[in-house]
Amino acid sequence: MARLLIAPETLVKGVWFSLIAQPIAITSTEVTSGVYIDAGLSERLLIKVTQTNATAHDIIIRSIYGADDDFTQEIGATTGDSVLMIETMRYEWQGGVDKGNINIDFETGFVGTIMVLKTLK
């Protein structure tokens, strides 16, 4: 199964997240296949993740340097929220089919939403 594309929205100064982009639901399909962000020319991204399962679960942002450099963040149970800022250079694939993409995987059992915003320079 192919990863789901998440296109980042541009963060606008003084405007609430919810007015810029709607969160994308993460269901068992996305947990199985993962998602990817088309980072384009972005240097930094804000990733807002909400987890609605009764137990905490991890998200994993895959590094281009291998599993030892992956970024794993536990998202709290029930209404756990995390806002992550990442530098795209470390995670953005430079060649092949995944060029320009940032791959994100979810721990089995994760249920929630994800929203991605490009930051202003």
**Are 102 and 36 contacting, i.e. CB atoms less than 8 angstroms apart?**
yes
Segment 81-120, tens digit of pLDDT: 888 888 887 777 766 666 778 899 999 999 999 999 887 6
How do residues 49-93 score in pLDDT, each as one tens digit? 999 999 999 999 998 888 888 999 999 888 778 888 888 877 777
The model carries a pTM of 0.85
For the domain spanning 4-12+20-118, the CATH number is 2.60.120
Residues 6 or more apart in contact with residue 80 via CB below 8 angstroms: 50, 51, 56, 112
What does the alpha-carbon distance between residue 2 and residue 57 come to, in Å, rounded to a whole number? 22
Domain ranges of the chain: 4-12+20-118
